[in-house]
Structure 1
Amino acid sequence: MTNSNTSPAQAVRLRARDGSLISPTAGLANGFVQVNLVILPEAQANGFLRFCQANPKPCPLIAVSEPGQRGCDILADDLDIARDVPSYCVYRDGQLSETLPDVSGLWRDDLVTFALGCSFSFEHALVQNGVAVRHIDEGRNVPMFKTSIPLQTAGGFAGRMVVSMRPFRAAQAIRAIQITTRYPQAHGAPVHLGDPALIGISDLAHPDYGDAVSVHTDEIPVFWACGVTPQQVLMDAGVPFAITHNPGYMLVTDIPESHVALL
């Protein structure tokens, strides 16, 4: 339940916590940073930390919790990591086991949470500057694709980058690049634009994660590194146990977007 003193970010978390929010979080709580989550046993956490440090574009590290903690003061005062995301993915032995709206029943004292920057955080800046974001306008989840772009191997983890895609006309694409470059902790500038085949994507109408969006003949597809990359990496590594956000269903923090922008 919210009241007049509840911030937009807290209101989103409380809706996720009580189960009333079941949709992707793009466009919600504008002005507040959204993050990807990777939750791992402490035995794998140090290796994953090194992997994030070696691959800051897809894995921009915002915060790391202490083992077993379901809160993280850097992200929010009232946070419950196990309940404040609308949908979670649970992985066992490198396979997606289930998606759940609440993982408190699976919580363990050795679990370490990694909060990684998300491109949803710069979408508000795009819209504020007159750059329309297609998946928001169409009420869909952002389309995400596996690519042929190699990642830096580190900490026992390796793989290839996952990207998110947003289509723009040329002038808007240039403006989008200018704006997103200011947000390195939210993946920053794009990693590719134009022909998707050059990065191993065969069909924009069939994303690997999220939803397809319309791409007009006069538009350029623009691709950003995506925080779903770690999920693919975890599967490739066959980790015994892990929890992540469901792609597009992010944790909304109390961190203002201005705190992660280069002004």
Structure 2
Amino acid sequence: MASDPETQSADLASATSTAVRLACRSGAITGCTAGMANGYVQGNLAVFPERIADNFRLFAERNPKSCPVIGESKPGRRDIPELGLDLDIATDLPLYRVWRSGELVDELPDVRSVWRDDLVAFVIGCSFSFEEAMLEAGLPLRHVERGTHVAMYRTNIACAPAGPFAGPMVVSMRPLTPAQAIQAVQVTARYPQVHGAPVHLARPDLIGITDLQQVDYGDPVPVGPNEIPVFWACGVTPQSVIAAARPDFAITHAPGCMLVTDRLNTEFATG
């Protein structure tokens, strides 16, 4: 890859999904995948032992805004053919999180060393897909402009429980003017499999957020005097739920470090 950061960024933006996955697999990409392989769907990752996978599948079905599943592996398998022919769940994300009894115990560049034959991987739609549509509509994305992760917060919005899985919804926030917010609702509502329309506008205190500069995940961004914070359900929600449910073992992506699939964002648009 090119050594100049601007050239490298442009190369990654136009790269194929396979090229980005292989770069993650080799360790050439180690951070946030936002803006890479434009046009391709990226996904959040949640991996659980088979004995509780049915519970998580039901949890996702009951919470489609925050956990829209776009792919699921067979037990012990590291491939999901419908998301990519050359795809390895254990190596093809830049950074993984390993959880034991609900505690984050490690972050690893690949999880081959901890992979087990009883694991089931779920890939959950990511807001990077609707962000591409927002940019095409001329809507600003401050975290993209600043080159940071999107701001994410745990809320007081309770997810519908299933088995051991229960806990608060996580949301991502993007500052917009009221007029832009209306347009953003219209644009993102066309992508229900990647979180769809916002779940809340303005008044963060009403969903349990007391300080927008104190993020739970990602990086804070300023909200201008003529702007309001707009909140979307976020695929980091399973990590909040893992901390509450305390399963004995789980693997997730590190926030912002997604699986780039071969599916196209246009496939997920409705209307």
Q: Same fold (TM over 0.5)?
A: yes
SS at the partner of 2:164?
A: coil
Are 1:122 and 2:144 counterparts?
no
Could you say which residue in structure 2 is the equivalent of 1:32?
40
User: Identity of paired residues, percent?
Assistant: 55
Could you say which residue in structure 1 is the equivalent of 2:6?
none
Could you say which residue in structure 2 is the equivalent of 1:211?
219
Could you say which residue in structure 1 is the equivalent of 2:121?
113
Alignment equivalent of 2:20, drawn from 12, 33, 51: 12
Q: 1:34-83 CA deviation, whole Å, 9 max, x = no partner?
A: 11110111011011111111111100011111001111111101001101
Could you say which residue in structure 2 is the equivalent of 1:227?
235
Could you say which residue in structure 2 is the equivalent of 1:151?
159
Could you say which residue in structure 2 is the equivalent of 1:201?
209
- Structure 1, unmatched stretches of 5+, are none
The TM-score with structure 2 as length reference comes to 0.93
- Runs of 4+ aligned residues of structure 1 deviating over 3 Å after TM superposition are none
Opposite residue 27 of structure 1, the aligned amino acid is G
Could you say which residue in structure 1 is the equivalent of 2:193?
185
Cα distance in 1 for partners of 2:33, 2:24 equals 10
- Structure 2, unmatched stretches of 5+, are 2-13
Could you say which residue in structure 2 is the equivalent of 1:247?
255
Are 1:174 and 2:149 counterparts?
no
Could you say which residue in structure 1 is the equivalent of 2:4?
none
Cα distance in 2 for partners of 1:118, 1:112 equals 19
| Contact in 2 for aligned 1:83/1:103 (Cα 8 Å) | yes
Cα distance in 1 for partners of 2:219, 2:200 equals 20
Opposite residue 63 of structure 1, the aligned amino acid is G
Structure 1 residue 155 displacement after superposition: 2.5
Could you say which residue in structure 2 is the equivalent of 1:160?
168
Alignment equivalent of 1:236, drawn from 216, 224, 244: 244
Q: 1:71-102 CA deviation, whole Å, 9 max, x = no partner?
A: 11111010011010011000001100011111
| Contact in 2 for aligned 1:60/1:187 (Cα 8 Å) | yes
The TM-score with structure 1 as length reference comes to 0.96
| Count of aligned residue pairs for this structure pair | 261
| Contact in 1 for aligned 2:15/2:36 (Cα 8 Å) | no
| Contact in 1 for aligned 2:214/2:220 (Cα 8 Å) | yes
